[in-house]
Amino acid sequence: MKLIGYREANFRPDNGKGEEIKGYMIYLGNEIDPRRGGGMEAERQYLTQSKIDREGISLPELCGKDVNVYYNRYGKIASIRPMDD
């Protein structure tokens, strides 16, 4: 899996109350199995700034690199690490 891009995506909860949630949309690319097609497919996920800070994730350093993505039991990203870690 490759981190192919990221962009800032802050928002407020739907009810308009509460603090702004800060974070990034990240875009991950995977090679498509040649038996099923060709090229790459993309996946979009959201990472909060607090998770980025807590896990020590550097999106600028990881962008364009192969990464290991770890998910929690709810299917949300728990952490991202360079492939060689």
Q: For residue 74, what pLDDT is reported?
A: 94
- pLDDT of the chain, 85 residues: tens digit per residue: 999 999 999 988 877 677 889 999 999 999 999 999 999 999 999 999 999 999 999 999 999 999 999 999 999 999 999 997 5
Name every residue whose Cβ is closer than 8 Å to that of residue 29 and which is 6 or more positions away in sequence: 1, 2, 4, 40, 41, 42, 43
Note whether 71 and 79 are within 8 A (CB).
Answer: no
Note whether 8 and 21 are within 8 A (CB).
Answer: no
